[in-house]
Amino acid sequence: MKNNEQQFDELDELLVQAENNHEKRIVSPKDLIPKKMPITLGAHKKLEMIGPLIKELTGRDYEWSAYFLTQQGDPNYVIRDLLIQKGQDITLGTVKISGDDVAKANNQLEEKNNANGSNLYIIGWPHGHGDARHLGPSSVDMENFETVLNSVSLNTEQHINIPLKLIETQITKNRENGRIRFSGRSVDDAIIEYVLNHDKRLERILKRNGVDFQKENAKDKAVHLLNSLLDTTQINYYQSHIFGFAYYAIMSNIPNIKPYTAIGLSTEKAITKGNSSELIDKVEISKVFVKNDIEVTRQSLEEEIKANIDLPKKWVFVNWKGAKGKKGKYVSVGANAQKWDAQGYYAQYDNHYGGTYQNAFYLSRPFLKTLEGKVNEYEKRTDDPSIGEIKSFVKMMVKLDESYRRDEQMQIMDSYFQSKYGLKTKEAQEREKKEIKEKEENRPEEKVEKKEK
């Protein structure tokens, strides 16, 4: 008897029995992704600063694009930094993301990881909607997020086995020719068929379970036994669901406007091969304190923005004297300002740009890069020392282009000519004369002479 108990039960090869008969709660991918969007204090500060700083640098409410980063191996998927998308073409109305953009961002991030000794990866996509008061994704935003989700969901990939209902309509059971078949009423339903082979193993199973049979009806007896067992057996089928997620945020430049935040979920079914994605919105931001958080300052963020975005020149408000001679009227130049800026014009009236913001001179960036390349090329082909003078002048021009304020550009030019040729501007000469005059007037002997007189 003991040998019989230890003997391999060959009936297990024919039946898949449920571990238990009670209903289990079905766990879905939604149950396994974060319920909130966790972000460090430093990363959150950076997220809030990007849009307003771009507005400060350009004078306009441009849209912008970046990527959320998290630490490899972090089970809580906390956002630890933002990577500003390099080379993005910012506009007033929209931002467009392609698969190539995400690939370039991954290369950019690899350089960042190598430089800092970090191990970050992309986990989402934040972007700005300028001065919008009511935040929500546009149709272009949805396309962008689908692109980002498909590109980065592999970073958060997991899988879960979920019950698969092969027959969804009313089940019909048929038994004939040694087969037991389960089917449904719909063509979409599966057909499940159990087939018993008549061999010596089948006879051994019947004997071991005390079933009387004749050799010629052994198969019928076994089918009857199997049919009875199936009536009292729950058989579960499971399908692997492979899923990944990404964070999503839309920001406004207006203070105290709550960001639009969501989590995108991408799911693929292993057996039925169905793919789906959905956006789970109204996800709360959870600010998290961590050690070694990033430090964000206005200067560091401005440098990062300028290094990655070819910012348009700042539009301008001007003081001008109109055709009728009204002085000091404060007006917006409006659409013409961009045209004037692009052409490097002064205003059409009697005095040029003034006011709180002086617009930077426009220089053609492609032209400067071409000119810089030509200077480097000819520098290798000649020993003429004057090429060095040209090179330093071109470098000064490049610095002018990188500046976004007129006063900064004037300082760069003054500094260049003073350091090169010892020349002083008229303003500097007048200032020096004024200082000399004040010193002379304040000399003690001159005060005494004046008193005696």
Note the pLDDT tens digit of each residue in 367-401. Answer: 777 888 888 888 888 888 888 888 888 888 888 87
Which range among 102-106, 108-112, 423-427 shows the weakest confidence by mean pLDDT? Answer: 423-427
Q: What is the pLDDT of residue 195?
A: 84
Q: What is the pLDDT of residue 312?
A: 74
Angle at 239 between CA 238 and CA 245, to 5 degrees: 130
| Residue 146, pLDDT above cutoff 80 | yes
**H or E segment and range at residue 281:** strand 275-281
- Segment 169-184 shows an average pLDDT of 86
| Residue 18, pLDDT above cutoff 80 | no
Question: Which residues sit opposite 160 in a β-bridge?
Answer: 241
Tell whether the torsion through CA atoms of 110, 115, 119 and 122 is positive or negative.
negative
Highest mean pLDDT, choosing among 159-163, 320-324, 336-340, 394-398: 159-163
Contact assessment for residue 360 and residue 306, using Cβ atoms and an 8 Å cutoff = no
Treating both helix axes as pointing N-terminal to C-terminal, what angle do 298-308 and 41-58 enclose, rounded to 10 degrees? 60
For the stretch 259-287, pLDDT in tens is 999 999 999 998 888 888 889 988 999 99
- Segment 329-351 shows an average pLDDT of 37
Residue 249: band (very low, low, confident or very high) from pLDDT cuts 50, 70, 90: very high
* CATH of span 32-159+242-308: 3.40.140.10
| Residue 105, pLDDT above cutoff 80 | yes
| Residue 175, pLDDT above cutoff 70 | yes
**3-class state of residue 283 by DSSP:** coil
CA atoms of 388 and 375, how far apart (whole Å)? 9
Residue 232: band (very low, low, confident or very high) from pLDDT cuts 50, 70, 90: confident
- β-strand 79-84 against 285-288: which pairing, if any? unpaired
Residue 350: band (very low, low, confident or very high) from pLDDT cuts 50, 70, 90: very low
Q: 320: which 2 tokens?
A: 């001008």
* Higher-pLDDT residue of 121, 381: 121
Contact assessment for residue 77 and residue 70, using Cβ atoms and an 8 Å cutoff = yes
CA atoms of 290 and 38, how far apart (whole Å)? 11
For the stretch 32-61, pLDDT in tens is 999 999 999 999 999 999 999 998 888 788
Q: What is the pLDDT of residue 80?
A: 97
- Segment 62-85 shows an average pLDDT of 94
Q: Is the pTM of this model over 0.95?
A: no
Residue 336: band (very low, low, confident or very high) from pLDDT cuts 50, 70, 90: very low
Q: 233: which 2 tokens?
A: 């057996």
| Proportion of the chain above pLDDT 90, given as a percent | 29
- Segment 188-212 shows an average pLDDT of 80
The domain segmentation of the chain, as residue ranges, is 2-24+164-239, 32-159+242-308, 313-359
- Segment 169-198 shows an average pLDDT of 86
| Residue 443, pLDDT above cutoff 80 | no
| Residue 217, pLDDT above cutoff 50 | yes
CB under 8 Å to 102, separation ≥6 — which residues? 67, 122, 147, 148, 151, 152
**Residue 281: φ, ψ to 5°:** -95, -175
Long-range contacts of 164-173 (CB under 8 A, 24+ apart): 164/237, 164/238, 164/239, 164/271, 164/272, 165/237, 166/190, 166/192, 166/237, 167/192
Question: Which residues sit opposite 194 in a β-bridge?
Answer: 180
| Residue 300, pLDDT above cutoff 80 | yes
- Segment 288-296 shows an average pLDDT of 93
| Residue 424, pLDDT above cutoff 70 | no
| Residue 316, pLDDT above cutoff 60 | no
Q: What is the pLDDT of residue 363?
A: 67
Residue-wise DSSP of 176-206: ETTEEEEE-SSTTS--EEEE---SHHHHHHH
CB under 8 Å to 42, separation ≥6 — which residues? 80, 81, 293, 294, 295, 296
**H or E segment and range at residue 332:** strand 329-332
Tell whether the torsion through CA atoms of 125, 131, 137 and 140 is positive or negative.
negative
Contact assessment for residue 341 and residue 316, using Cβ atoms and an 8 Å cutoff = yes
CA atoms of 452 and 125, how far apart (whole Å)? 79
Cα 160–chain centre separation: 26
